[in-house]
Chain A
Amino acid sequence: MLAESGILLSVRSGSPFLIGSPERSDVSLLVKVLMNMAMSVSNTGERRSQQNTRPACNTTSFQKKSRSKLVSIPGTRPSVQNGQLIVSTGVTSLDYVIGGGLAVGTLLLVEEDKYDSYSRMLLKYFLAEGVVCGHHVFLGSARDPPDEIMQDLPAPILDDIPSNAVNMGQVTACDSEDQGSMKIAWRYQNLPKVQTALASSSRFGHYYDASKTMARELREAVKCSTFFLPHELPAESHAEPSPISEAYRLLLRSIQELIRQEGFDGTAPQKSRNILRIGLHSLGSPLWADDICCEEKPTQASSLTSFLYGLRALLRSSLCTCMVTVPSHLIQNRAIMDRVTRLCDTAIALESFRGSERETNPLYKDYHGLLHVKQTPHLNCLVCEAPDTKDLAFKLKRKQFSIERLHLPPDLSDTVSRSSKADVAESARLLSSACGGLATSNKHLDF
């Protein structure tokens, strides 16, 4: 192991591949090879750090040394799968679900839940992660003033303060595992453990305490640009024919100007390179002067899609990453929603149980809603990173938003009444028809 890491160290210090440039793809192969090695090293490092009872953070002393020589952008790392530079969405389990993180230069679509409560939460996590990493943050909104949203970001749980506590927690967890280890029949002993909480092996991104808001000085330490449609709209619009509506055009233009001014398009000197995080709230809603939510045949059916195409073009050529939320449940024409999804790279949909019949369903009692991964990106490779299961659910714990594999709750009651069993069976049947896979016919088997 040591010999291997020695080789790696020399390569890493020699080639500054962590520097994000818009033309990353040419080195993607090399990066991939290197990353595979890097992963094995960081795992070793992790183990070592635990043995030495150092503070439990993933960077080891010798990684720190190598990193100090590199000009890397805070809050980014190359993806294990394809070498793309990725950033965290602010929700660790979401990062895992979409293939490690959000690639720089790509667009994440979040289909809002009915009351926009969880999607808004995701947007805040996304922005908060940007603030903590020192990224430039851009927030566009037509409903609530962006400043209000920014004031309400969740507070980060920073490693420095509770590191001891975390360590203690780990030790006790290990102890309890030793003492209370179950006797398992040999036939089942070696089966992999079912892990419901999703997380990658190495830590990336931060955790947040949703019950507290972020300290003001932390928030004000980073550059933040905002776009609030009611403040931007001119009194009269010019009547030049265009596939894109006035509101979206203004938004696109202000993003374009910001990218140019701050040099996110690669013109900035290497040392001061940073990531621009763009959050756009509730695009497509009537407040953006768009009628796709109101009409089956909207007058400007291609306005939002044209905007997204332009946004995609901007993102691809700069150090930006973007999260867009869309009230898809309101969009009348499914074809438009299909096109919107296709123009985004990653697409997830939130389906909250609040107000739906699933709220009272015993099957879902542990969760707050379902998460559907509609699309994962194709980046510099043929195959796209598909999740191993599509049955995912989310819950908002006191402190954190987490995504888990959906599974039936264990029945711990001593006397199982017949009716409740039938209930669960019935709801399991519902589940298989509602979210288990995307079966489109009533045929049972393809092979």
Chain B
Amino acid sequence: MMLPDLGSLLGFSTEKIEKGDFILLSDRNADASFLINHFLSLYLRAGCKVCFLGLVQSFSHYSAVALRLGVNLVQAREQGQLVFLEGLKDSVGQLLQQGPDSEAYPMGFLRGSQTDLRSLFRFVQRSVGGAGEWSPSILLVDDLSVLLSLGVSVEAILDFSHYCRTTVCHQLQGNMVMLVRVGEDEDDEEGPELLLKALTHQCSLALSIQGLPTGYCRDIHGQVEVRWKERGPGAAGPGGALAQKKLLQYKVHDKGVSFFARGTSSAVL
């Protein structure tokens, strides 16, 4: 299995998918897209119904990466297990306002006449429901901050993610994975930072990827902070209100990622 470290680290496996989890991925000075690919292949292998909003890359990119991780996206799409929205594909037509303006287009918000992401949510709703043989339902988004670049307000994105959460995590008891990429400036009060904070309040597990504070290194690509929040108000345990944290370093390989405790990279030992 790919990324065995991450799986055992988070207590995730293809056999055991927690119900109703909202997993928030974020990165700063680093690239967390490998995590998106990891979760995509994990859920597909576990036989979940997956809706993937790929806003950043083309389908062929995700498919090529997934193939290396041992999952065939084309096949999954044909079998109806995977619903893939290729954001890049019909965005030009919408941006240039060609063709009819309709709520039926998931990317219809690019026209500027819609202020919220209702059309995109409708797409998610259509895609995750009616799972049939595949369950539970999963929603993956790569990545939310692209929507900011397309002129969508933080509020509209938060509303969208709220509706996704109620539908996917609550009604369907599935999982939701979203990626937010933030800039270097931590004190930025608006935009991605605000989005990240607001979503962190809602999520049940947060994985934040960062570059090393001391700079670039070829053998260690960065560090990941894992933060568990207890699910719902039900969980008590020691500390209660506080989240549990863990800090690890990682290196991305051709076909996976290795995680290790700080200072235990093979380059050091």
| A interface residues with partner B (beta carbon < 8 Å) | 22-26, 28-29, 240-244, 249, 252-253, 256, 301-303, 305-310, 312-314, 316-317, 334-335, 338-339, 342-343, 378-384, 386, 388, 390, 436-441, 443-447
Contact = CB atoms under 8 A, between A and B. Distances in A.
A309 B60 contact: no
B149 A339 contact: yes
B60 A26 contact: yes
A436 B215 contact: yes
A310 B220 contact: no
A253 B96 contact: yes
Given A313-B88, A335-B190, A446-B214, 18 more contacts: A241-B112, A243-B112, A243-B151, A244-B95, A252-B96, A309-B95, A312-B88, A313-B89, A335-B183, A335-B188, A339-B148, A381-B65, A383-B253, A383-B254, A390-B216, A446-B212, A446-B217, A447-B268
A335 B145 CA distance: 11
Contact of B191 (A310, A335, A383, A446): A335
Interface residues of B, number: 63
A342 B268 CA distance: 31
B145 A339 contact: yes
Contacts of A303: 151
A302 B61 CA distance: 25
Interface in B174-192: 181, 183-185, 188, 190-192
Contacts of A252: 92, 95-96
A256 B92 contact: yes
Given A382-B34, A382-B65, A384-B31, A437 B92 contact: no
Interface in B201-237: 211-218, 220, 223
A383 B220 contact: no
B25 interface: no
B80 to A, nearest CB: 21
- Which of B92, B211, B217 neighbours the largest number of chain A CB atoms within 10 Å of its CB? B92
A302 B148 contact: yes
B263 interface: yes
A59 to B, nearest CB: 29
Identify the interface centre among A317, A343, A381: most chain B CB within 10 Å of its CB: A381
18 contacts: A25-B61, A242-B111, A309-B150, A313-B88, A317-B88, A334-B184, A335-B188, A339-B148, A343-B146, A380-B60, A382-B68, A382-B252, A386-B216, A437-B216, A440-B213, A446-B263, A447-B263, A447-B268
A307 to B, nearest CB: 8
A317 B113 CA distance: 26
B91 interface: yes
Contacts, number: 169
A234 B16 CA distance: 60
B242 interface: no
Contact of A380 (B64, B97, B112, B218): B64
Contact of A438 (B29, B148, B257): B29
Contacts of B14: none
A439 B214 contact: yes
B179 to A, nearest CB: 11
Interface of B: 29, 31, 33-34, 37, 57-58, 60-61, 63-65, 67-69, 87-89, 91-92, 95-97, 110-113, 145-146, 148-151, 181, 183-185, 188, 190-192, 211-218, 220, 223, 249, 252-257, 262-265, 268
Nearest to B192: A335
Contacts of B213: 439-441, 443, 446
Given A25-B63, A390-B216, A316 B58 contact: yes
A378 B191 contact: no
Contact of B215 (A29, A343, A380, A439): A439
Contacts of A240: 97, 112-113
Contacts of A446: 212-214, 217, 220, 223, 249, 262-263
A316 B262 contact: no
B60 A444 contact: no
A311 to B, nearest CB: 9
A26 B64 CA distance: 7
A241 B192 CA distance: 24
Contacts of A302: 148-151
B151 A317 contact: no
Contacts of B184: 334, 338, 440
B97 A316 contact: no
Contacts of B257: 382
B153 to A, nearest CB: 10
Contacts of B148: 302, 339
B59 to A, nearest CB: 9
A378 B58 contact: no
Contact of A242 (B61, B97, B212, B214): B97
Contacts of A443: 213-214
Contacts of A342: 145-146, 149, 181
A447 B213 CA distance: 11
Nearest to B264: A447
A373 B181 CA distance: 19
B96 A256 contact: yes
A26 to B, nearest CB: 7
Contacts of A243: 95, 110, 112, 150-151
A310 B151 contact: no
A252 B110 CA distance: 14
B144 to A, nearest CB: 12
Nearest to A432: B215
